[in-house]
Structure 1
């Protein structure tokens, strides 16, 4: 994670010439419903960020592996990519036995540098980010399955293991961001990006 040569702040350029011509925007997604709240703990000690958060549940032991090879097997223009991964597990002492049809899960935390930059932008210091919190569902709602066991966690753990920070944002997120921006031009751009236009 720390060894990666990671460039933060790469800008994505959008073609917005149609925005100036659009009088009304259609097919805007609904504003996502709030389903949970974050509750700060009264405890002053920090959560150990070196271990996996409690909301990561597995029915089998976790094996640390190094990613040796990554190769895309599909054409660059394919709608869905198939990626070949080779994992180095030679340091794992137990014998692993697989049969056809078995599956594995990969826990790939977000890059710590990226998380720290986002927290800095949100004006959340590293100490505050590692303080204990809990996530509680609001009445009549259910937490997403990957957060149901997040009785004690931290904002750092949520950003490292609980959210996808590197995929392109979905329309619902762009719609939500449009509701909270104070810049009218940014708001129009975000609404345009999540509209049918």
Structure 2
């Protein structure tokens, strides 16, 4: 007995098993009035459509909506990772050769902007004299952001604060503005790096 004959035999056995129930269903269907048959067919179509929606259409739509919500977050995270990777590459290139020169003003300006200081709040200019130093003038800059940036400049570029003249910022009426400072900070290479 080959596979096809076995399948045919099992098909006949299942037909014989369900034949009485199929005959009863056929007799009940024929006993229904035409209007009742249409109602049963409509109910079957509605049930089939509901099953198709629940099993075939709704899960992919739900997944698409979920991905539509998550995609911008993932893109933002990818942009942050790319930015951090670029910063790490920059630091890696700079680390082997500890330079006695000051970092480029554009590099410092970009890091000030990334730290959260707007271009109106700061101005970089070379210090007077022959020493390789820069003066950072700040106007109504958040003190916490400035201190965090100075700490990062020390770690990232080996810069030290050679001098600082900071005072609390005030509004036009002379009232102090909480958390904001005006003044100047002189940045120079660390003593071990100075030429």
TM-score normalised by length of structure 1: 0.20
User: Normalized per residue, which structure has more strand?
Assistant: 2
User: Normalized per residue, which structure has more helix?
Assistant: 2
The structure number with the bigger radius of gyration is 2
